[in-house]
Amino acid sequence: MSRLPCSWWVLLFVSLQTLIKNPVTSEVLVLSLAATPLEHFHVEGNLSDIPLGRLEGQESKTVEIPICFVAEGQFEFVAEVRVLGQQSRAGEGELKVIVRES
């Protein structure tokens, strides 16, 4: 197997999809993502307070966030949904991603 010179970057582009479902009455929701380790991937834009808009009860919405991994390893993402203007969590989900050379 050939190796690339160390000055080259091997990039993996993926799209993280988050499905949000509002089980209660109509609310304006925002999404925040926390991820570790931050230094080994890039995201265009902001990971906090992503506006989801108003979701009626039982309505769902999918949010797609493009991510570029620049290293192999294990990455952890936590998605948190809040009602706009409130600090309490309305929902949370976790995802672990393992990136490795094939």
- Is-above-0.75 flag for pTM? no
> In this structure, is residue 5 part of a structural domain?
no
Q: How many domains, in total, are found in the chain?
A: 1
pLDDT tens for 28-55 read 899 998 888 888 888 878 889 989 899 8
- Full residue range of the structural domain in which residue 64 is found: 25-99
Supply angle C-alpha 32, 35, 39, rounded to 5.
130
Q: Strands 27-36 and 73-83, how do they pair?
A: antiparallel
> In this structure, is residue 82 part of a structural domain?
yes
> In this structure, is residue 9 part of a structural domain?
no
> In this structure, is residue 1 part of a structural domain?
no
Predicted pLDDT at 3: 45
> In this structure, is residue 42 part of a structural domain?
yes
> In this structure, is residue 63 part of a structural domain?
yes
> In this structure, is residue 4 part of a structural domain?
no
User: 3-state class of 40 per DSSP?
Assistant: helix
Q: What is the DSSP letter of 24?
A: S
Decide if 41 contacts 69 (C-beta within 8 A): yes
